[in-house]
Amino acid sequence: MTTNLLAALETATVGSRELDAKIALIDGWRQVEVSREDPFGNPTDWSGLPPDEDRPRAWAPVPPYTTSLDEALALAPAWTRERLGAVSIISTLGRAAASFRSSSLLDPACHEVQGYAQTAPLAVCLAGLRARQSHPAAIEGPGHG
């Protein structure tokens, strides 16, 4: 994961398909050249192969991680989804904050990561990617086992 992607998420004012594609590669997608048009005839420069597929389809849409809160939350690492953890999202005055916590704050082994960005999905993506980068169990997120 590059520091450039984390910086791009922090400074972006809105989500973009370019950022989504970069996140998809980290989430286990593979870039493939299949078609230059999506099913609706719109030109596209990026086709993806989801982590659980071996053969390219005519077109596989990369999830809209940076504009959809649901898709951004899919980046939450396994230790947040499967254990007594917490996800908090606060959005106010044009800024958003998101944090993933592995357990209660009272637990000395609690691990927490945060993300701050212009929108809630961007902040959640940032926190999710930081969690994957900094926690040993982070690689167990979607597309990784």
Tens digit of each residue's pLDDT (9 = 90 or more) over 70-83: 889 887 765 555 55
Give the residue from 79, 140, 81 showing the smallest Cα distance to 110. Answer: 79
Provide the residue ranges of all domains of the chain, joining segments of one domain with +: 7-15+64-140
Paired strand residues for 43: 37
* pLDDT for 46: 55
Average pLDDT, the chain: 75
* C-alpha closest to that of 45 among 57, 37, 56, 53: 37
Contacts of 38 (CB under 8 A, 6+ apart): 44, 59, 61
Question: Looking at 55-64, 67-76, 101-110, 132-141, which range is the least confident one?
Answer: 132-141
Q: Coil, helix or strand for 34?
A: coil
Report the C-alpha gap between 14 and 31 in whole angstroms.
Answer: 23
Over residues 13-45, the pLDDT tens digits come to: 999 988 998 898 888 887 765 555 656 665 555
The yes-or-no verdict on residue 90 having pLDDT over 80 is yes
Residue 96: pLDDT band (50, 70, 90) is: very high
Tokens, residue 72: 């951004």
Q: How far is CA 2 from the centre of its chain?
A: 14
